[in-house]
Amino acid sequence: MPDAHILGIESSCDETAAAVVRSGAQIISNVVFSQIATHQPYGGVVPELASREHLRAIVPVVRKALADAGLTYQTVDALAVTQGPGLAGALLVGISYAKALAFALDKPLIAVNHLEGHIHAVLLEERQKGGFSDSSRELNFPVLALVVSGGHTHLYLAEQRGESWSYTNIGHTRDDAAGEAFDKVAKLLGLGYPGGPIIDKLAGHGKASAVKFPPSQIKHPDRKEQASPGAGAPLRFDFSYSGIKTAVLRYVETNNLQGSIEERRKSLLGIAKPTVEDYLSRCDQCTLDLVASFQRAMVEDLVGKTLAAARAYDVATVFVTGGVAANNELRRQFESDAAQEGLPVFFPSRPLATDNAAMIAAAAYPKFLAGDFAPADFSAEAGMRLR
């Protein structure tokens, strides 16, 4: 198989990223410029600000990725860019820049689905460690991938034919994504943005059994996914997280926590980069118990549904990827529950779990081998599906 250095560019949400990856297996450079500081005061991503920040960062970020790799624009073999899903304006910055570069350099350009990128982050991680390459450590199919991030909670069956990959969605969230639930609950509790990493750090200081959240219930079939429900329709494992967010709000109201939340929110605003101690000194035990119980309920739902789907589809391997896959308790629970079923489970390292461009360059490699290049008139697809 030919060796190829692919320059990946990612700008779908609030990270401007560029990376060079060799043949889908080795990261040569990986630059991520996070916009967290820009969006923090608003408690979430503001699309117009995201586009503006991408415009500012894209040229220096790509230049740095090439410089770190010791390469020039001329010496990369191909460019790859996220086409969707994501914020339309944000995606357009990466796509316009990648198109202009590819045209000027006369290099092939590969359009990558962001969700496929997250799945390939797992493959990249293992290949870097020497896995999935020889017969003793080969990847066994069927593979079930949980992509769990701020914008997505999807379950895919992934197949590989020759070099090319295809995906079948067997579950998605009906409302909020899991990462969105972490972010909204953290905001509700005056803890700041993004919520996932903060809740992850605080949950260990609370009692996870303190607050009981009822399991999420999905009563109606999904009209979008099941055109003809009934015999022969694939079994679905959907998620729903708006209920748990409302339950946290009710708990806050019932226990009169609003005053202390407002105090905490204002006080944390004055600290540029709060430490765990800063958070802990501003949280009473009741709040820490609530945080721990919320995280427990999220983890139980994600692990329970994914492993139920793994059993139903008799899969051989599970991938867990996306920003929420950085969560310590989620990783621990997946590892112990999957081990009981004799099921191997793989995660990307934390820097590859959250948004980055190395995963985009890695997902582009099979398309590079297949000559699957983007037409000159392709554009951003904010609601792009993965197939």
Which residues contact Zn ion (rule: CB under 5 A)? 149, 355
Structure-block tokens of residue 322? 């996306």
Residues in contact with ligand KG4, counted by CB under 6 A, come to a total of 19
Picking from 189, 208, 186, 207, the residue whose alpha carbon sits closest to that of residue 197 is: 186
What gap in Å lies between CA 88 and CA 381, rounded to an integer?
7
**N-to-C CA span, the chain:** 25
Closer CB to ligand KG4, residue 144 or residue 360? 360
Looking up tokens 């067997």 gives 170
- 321 touches 358 (CB < 8 A): no
What gap in Å lies between CA 370 and CA 77, rounded to an integer?
14
What gap in Å lies between CA 144 and CA 85, rounded to an integer?
20
Q: What residue 200 binds from ligand KG4, Zn ion, none (CB within 5 to 8 A, per partner kind)?
A: ligand KG4
Angle at 43 between CA 119 and CA 116, to 5 degrees: 10
Residues 5-24, mask of contacts with ligand KG4 (x by CB under 6 A): --------x-----------
Task: Concatenate the DSSP letters of all residues of 71-129 into one string.
Answer: --GGG-SEEEEEEESS-HHHHHHHHHHHHHHHHHHT--EEEEEHHHHHHHHHHHHHHHT
255 CB contacts (<8 Å, ≥6 apart)?
286
Closer CB to Zn ion, residue 98 or residue 148? 148
Query: Is residue 319 involved in binding ligand KG4 (CB under 6 A)?
Result: no
Closer CB to ligand KG4, residue 129 or residue 332? 332
Query: Is residue 43 involved in binding ligand KG4 (CB under 6 A)?
Result: no
Closer CB to Zn ion, residue 143 or residue 177? 177
> What is the four-CA torsion angle of 53, 54, 56, 58, rounded to 10 degrees?
150
Residue from 24, 179, 190, 366 that binds ligand KG4 (CB under 6 A)? 179
- 181 touches 245 (CB < 8 A): yes
Residues 129-158 that bind ligand KG4 (CB under 6 A): 149-151
Angle at 382 between CA 379 and CA 385, to 5 degrees: 100
Closer CB to ligand KG4, residue 260 or residue 354? 354
Cα–chain center distance at 325: 7
Distances (CA, A) of 387 to 56, 112, 215, 295: 33, 12, 30, 31
Query: Is residue 196 involved in binding ligand KG4 (CB under 6 A)?
Result: yes
| Three-state secondary structure call for residue 56 | helix
Picking from 173, 200, 378, 368, the residue whose alpha carbon sits closest to that of residue 279 is: 200
Q: How far is the CB of 150 from ligand KG4 (least distance, A)?
A: 3
Query: Is residue 183 involved in binding ligand KG4 (CB under 6 A)?
Result: yes
Closer CB to ligand KG4, residue 94 or residue 194? 194
Q: How far is the CB of 323 from Zn ion (least distance, A)?
A: 6
- 280 touches 206 (CB < 8 A): no
Q: What residue 327 binds from Zn ion, ligand KG4, none (CB within 5 to 8 A, per partner kind)?
A: ligand KG4
Structure-block tokens of residue 357? 């461009």
Residue from 79, 91, 244, 326 that binds ligand KG4 (CB under 6 A)? 326
Q: How far is the CB of 260 from ligand KG4 (least distance, A)?
A: 23
Residue from 61, 167, 354, 364 that binds ligand KG4 (CB under 6 A)? 354
Query: Is residue 194 involved in binding ligand KG4 (CB under 6 A)?
Result: yes
Closer CB to Zn ion, residue 23 or residue 149? 149
Residues 200-239, mask of contacts with ligand KG4 (x by CB under 6 A): x---------------------------------------
Closer CB to ligand KG4, residue 94 or residue 196? 196
Closer CB to Zn ion, residue 90 or residue 202? 90
Structure-block tokens of residue 235? 């079994």
Residue from 82, 113, 293, 327 that binds ligand KG4 (CB under 6 A)? 327
Q: How far is the CB of 364 from ligand KG4 (least distance, A)?
A: 18
- Binding positions for ligand KG4, rule: CB under 6 A: 13, 149-151, 179, 182-183, 194-197, 200, 322-324, 326-327, 354-355
